[in-house]
Amino acid sequence: MKTIFVNLLAVLVLFVLGCQENQITDPVPEGATDKTQVQEDYKYGTISLQRMLIDPNPVGNSYFIIYGQVDYKYTLVAANPMVPSSQTHFDLYLNIMGDLSYYCTVCPYSEEDELAGSIESSSEDIILVTGHFISQIEKTYRIQGREDGMVLKCRFLITPNTVELSAMWLALESNSVKATDNN
């Protein structure tokens, strides 16, 4: 009687276990418990800022020269790569430093030309990846030492291989009109 009871109990346990829903039995890769996988492969670079820019004030034939650089550091981050529409983004760090000088169109350049302002700023941005892994961001930098609210606007293109400065212009904060850059 005792063996019948043990056998009946074993059959009952096997029956209960066999009727449960199957769970995923795929092996979990080592270290993959976090659903966000970050590529810690940062890329670094420097973009030179040496251009002539049109003065956004309504004064004809007036220009500025900018001298400086943008240092960047970025990486591509893939969040939930197993999901069909994974959310991929760039972590982008920008550091800009530069000086803005008046440019006289009727006189030769001089080291003593008046300094019109300076730019120094750092930023950290998260940019969602679009389309073919090309994204863009537009940044506005206040020009220090100016009372007219002049700002430098920069448009950057970000790809998995590089960061590029695609456009740069001066604008007045109260004026949304874009002054194109003159290369």
Q: What is the pLDDT of residues 104-128, one digit of tens each?
A: 777 766 666 678 899 999 999 998 8
Residue 146 structure tokens: 């100016």
pLDDT digits 0-9 by tens, 41-97: 889 999 999 999 998 986 767 889 999 999 999 998 877 666 555 678 889 999 999
* Three-state DSSP state, 153: strand
Contacts of 151 (CB under 8 A, 6+ apart): 140, 141, 142, 143, 170, 171, 172, 173
Residues above pLDDT 70, as percent of the chain: 65
- State the burial class of residue 139 (Cβ atoms within 10 Å of its Cβ: 0-12, 13-18, 19+): middle
Dihedral angle of Cα 113, 172, 144, 64, to the nearest 10 degrees: -20
